[in-house]
Amino acid sequence: MTQIESLSVLSSDNAAPGHAHGLTNDELVKCYAAMLRVRAFDDICMKLQRSGRIGFSIPNRGVEGCQVGAASAFEKTDFLFPSYRDFGMAMLHGVPAVEMMHNMFGNSKDAALGRQMPVHFSFTEPIKFFSISSPIGTHLPQAVGAARAFQARGEKHVCLASFGDGGTSSLGFHSALNFAGVWKAPVVFLCQNNGWAISLPSSGQTASESYAIKAKAYGIPGVKVDGNDLLAVRQATREAVARARAGEGPTLIEAETYRMGGHSTSDDPTKYVPKEELDKWEAKDPVNRFRRFLEHEGIWTPELEERLLQEAKDEVAEAAKIAEATPKPGLETVFSDVYAEMPDHLRAQGQSMFDLAARRGDAAAGDGAFPL
């Protein structure tokens, strides 16, 4: 069987002479700044969780280049169906840290009004960023359904379906690739093979020689790429997006990267990650590699680094202060956003809940009258 070669752009010294990445110097810096913002967001969320101020977070360290490289290939009119480790996709396209932090606290300005866990972001502006799903793989058929709708409407938008290596074991993975292949749906499947599905290594996830090879079963192209090489991920994704937009159907991209931290703030990776393996991947850190590329290009300077780091830290720190001080959702939000006209049985339940809250002295209960 012919093996699929992995695409790389950056050389051993992290230069990319002659590579046509299609980005201006400002856009390259924007990509780098997005990765630094992800790291700042991770750092503060870890401190917030450990101090009991939020309940949960998902570390992104090690996979930022994959997120940002892929997201840079999409237009703001395209639809992104992300995994829960894709903070950089939202940040690159201009989602403010405070909007993400509102979700971390589940407050009244959270787009989901506290109905989702932290890290389950969703945005309609400035990017079409669909709600992250906790169940693994369930968003993949949804992405294909949206792509099929584009076909029916004659629209030229493209969907991204991003997921981890563990997601390839879900029923949604099979269903999504099967339908997308048959329909030639304009969707790009990005498998971020980060080495671990919580504590299960890739060797325990599949007997295939790669995840990219699985594309053959569905009659679509499969591509492997160095997931810590932002420019390589961008190139592979740009080519897949161009195919999809031209009506040539989906592509499965396997980005080989590494999660250099826990699965979540509830996880202790030292219990199962070999130290020598982590050390090997530390040397491939995507942020450091991209910084050295910018330095080769004459774009990076110590002054730029200092400014970008400080801006990232300041933005996220301020976002946390604002979100923490924002009031929690009102009691009525338990019942809102479901029916245009509130059914009588829910109205009665709502009134009972407000009466109970008022008797217990809950300030959020207002005057005791159910407001819907």
- Residues known to be catalytic: 259, 263, 272
How far is it between the farthest Cα atoms of the chain?
Answer: 72
d(C-alpha 189, C-alpha 191), whole Å = 6
d(C-alpha 113, C-alpha 48), whole Å = 19
Q: Which residue has the tokens 């509102």?
A: 102
- Within its chain, how far is the Cα of 92 from the centroid? 11
d(C-alpha 131, C-alpha 124), whole Å = 10
Q: Which amino acid is at 104?
A: M
E strand or H helix that includes residue 227: none
- Phi, psi of 129, rounded to the nearest 5 degrees: -115, 100
Q: Are 106 and 269 in contact (CB under 8 A)?
A: no
Those residues whose C-beta lies under 8 Å from the C-beta of residue 57, and which sit 6 or more positions away, are 42, 45, 46, 48, 49, 104, 118, 119, 264, 265
Burial profile 132-171: b = 16 or more Cβ within 10 angstroms, e = fewer: bbeebbebbbbbbbbbbebeeeeeebbbbbbbbbbbbebe
